[in-house]
C-alpha cells in the first residue's frame, strides 16, 4: 500500500517536471519564431543568448555579479525576515501593537517604496541604500503573513503550555513560532521572488556590480543578448530559491499537518 503510494508520488512528480520542461521548451520555440519572423536587434536568436550566457558564465563575469547580487539579496532577506517577523508578531500579539502597528503596516504596504531610493541613497550611501530598498520591499510579505498567522494561533495550544506552568516566553517558543512557521515561509517565498525582481532596480541606479548592473550596462551598450543573459541568470536563481523554500514549507506542513 505504502509502496504503491510512493510509486504514484514519483510518477506524479516526474510528470510535473516533464510539464515544466515542456513549458520551457514551448517558450524557447515561441521566442525563436518571433526572433526569426521580426529580425529585430532587441529580439536576438536563442542561440545568441545561449552563447552569450555561456561565455559570460565561463569567463566568470556574470558569476561574480550573481554572487554579489545573491549576497545582497541574502542580507536583505535576513533583515526583512527578522524585522518582519518581530513587527508582525508585535502587531498580532500585543494590544497596542494591534491598535497602532497593524494599521501602520497595512497603510504603508501599497506605497511605491522604490521612489524612496534617492532619500535612502542620501541617508545610507550606495551599498546601504541597495540593501535598504530590497529589505523594505521584502519586509511586507513577511510581516503581513506573520501577522495573519499569529492572529490565528490556536488558543488551546497556548492553554496547554500554560497548564504545564509555562510563561509567555514558553508560549512564544513552543506555540507561537512553530504555529506561524508555515506562514513565515509563505511570506518568505513571495519575498524571495520580489527580491530578485527588485535587485535589478536597486543595482541599476548606481552601478557597483551585481546582475542588475550587468543588465543596465548591457542596455547602455545595446547588447541585447547580454540583457537577456542577465535576466535569465536572475530568474533562474530566483526560481531555484523559490523552489527551495517551497520544498521546506511543504515538508514542514506534511510532517506536522498544520
State the residues that interact with another protein by CB under 8 A: 154, 156-157, 159-166, 170, 174-175, 178-179, 181, 255-258
C-alpha span between 140 and 131 (Å, rounded): 15
Q: Is 208 helix (H, G, I), strand (E, B) or coil?
A: coil
User: Of the two residues 216 and 249, which places its CB atom closer to another protein in the complex?
Assistant: 249
User: Of the two residues 127 and 159, which places its CB atom closer to another protein in the complex?
Assistant: 159
User: Of the two residues 162 and 217, which places its CB atom closer to another protein in the complex?
Assistant: 162
From the CB of 171, what's the least distance to another protein, in Å? 10
From the CB of 184, what's the least distance to another protein, in Å? 13
- Contact assessment for residue 64 and residue 210, using Cβ atoms and an 8 Å cutoff: no
Q: Residue 176 CB: number of other CB atoms within 10 A? A: 22
From the CB of 93, what's the least distance to another protein, in Å? 18
From the CB of 220, what's the least distance to another protein, in Å? 51
Query: To the nearest 10°, the Cα dihedral for 237, 240, 242, 244?
Result: -140
User: Of the two residues 85 and 227, which places its CB atom closer to another protein in the complex?
Assistant: 85
User: Of the two residues 142 and 180, which places its CB atom closer to another protein in the complex?
Assistant: 180
Cβ within 8 Å of residue 135, ≥6 positions away: 76, 77, 79, 80, 83
From the CB of 166, what's the least distance to another protein, in Å? 5
Burial of 234 (0-12, 13-18, 19+ CB in 10 A): buried
- Contact assessment for residue 188 and residue 85, using Cβ atoms and an 8 Å cutoff: no
Amino acid at each position: 500500500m505504502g509502496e504503491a503510494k510512493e510509486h504514484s508520488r514519483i510518477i506524479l512528480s516526474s510528470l510535473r517536471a516533464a510539464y515544466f520542461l515542456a513549458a520551457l521548451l514551448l517558450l524557447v520555440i515561441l521566442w525563436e519564431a518571433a526572433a526569426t519572423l521580426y529580425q529585430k536587434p532587441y529580439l536576438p536568436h536563442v542561440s545568441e543568448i545561449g552563447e552569450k550566457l555561456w561565455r559570460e558564465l565561463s569567463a566568470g563575469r556574470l558569476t561574480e555579479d550573481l554572487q554579489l547580487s545573491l549576497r545582497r539579496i541574502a542580507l536583505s532577506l535576513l533583515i526583512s525576515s527578522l524585522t518582519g517577523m518581530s513587527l508582525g508578531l508585535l502587531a498580532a500579539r500585543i494590544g497596542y501593537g494591534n491598535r497602532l502597528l497593524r494599521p501602520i503596516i497595512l497603510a504603508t504596504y501599497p506605497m511605491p517604496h522604490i521612489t524612496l531610493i534617492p532619500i535612502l541613497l542620501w541617508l545610507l550611501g550606495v551599498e546601504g541604500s541597495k540593501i535598504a530598498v530590497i529589505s523594505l520591499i521584502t519586509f511586507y510579505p513577511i510581516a503581513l503573513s506573520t501577522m495573519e498567522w499569529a492572529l490565528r494561533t490556536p488558543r488551546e495550544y497556548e492553554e496547554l503550555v500554560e497548564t504545564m506552568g509555562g510563561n509567555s516566553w514558553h508560549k512564544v517558543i513552543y506555540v507561537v513560532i512553530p504555529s506561524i512557521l508555515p506562514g513565515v515561509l509563505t511570506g518568505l517565498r513571495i519575498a524571495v521572488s520580489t527580491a530578485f525582481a527588485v535587485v535589478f532596480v536597486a543595482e541599476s541606479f548606481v552601478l557597483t556590480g551585481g546582475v542588475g548592473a550587468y543588465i543596465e550596462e548591457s542596455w547602455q551598450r545595446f547588447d541585447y543578448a547580454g540583457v537577456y543573459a542577465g535576466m535569465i541568470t536572475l530568474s533562474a536563481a530566483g526560481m531555484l530559491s523559490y523552489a527551495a523554500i517551497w520544498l521546506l514549507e511543504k515538508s514542514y506542513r506534511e510532517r506536522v499537518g498544520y
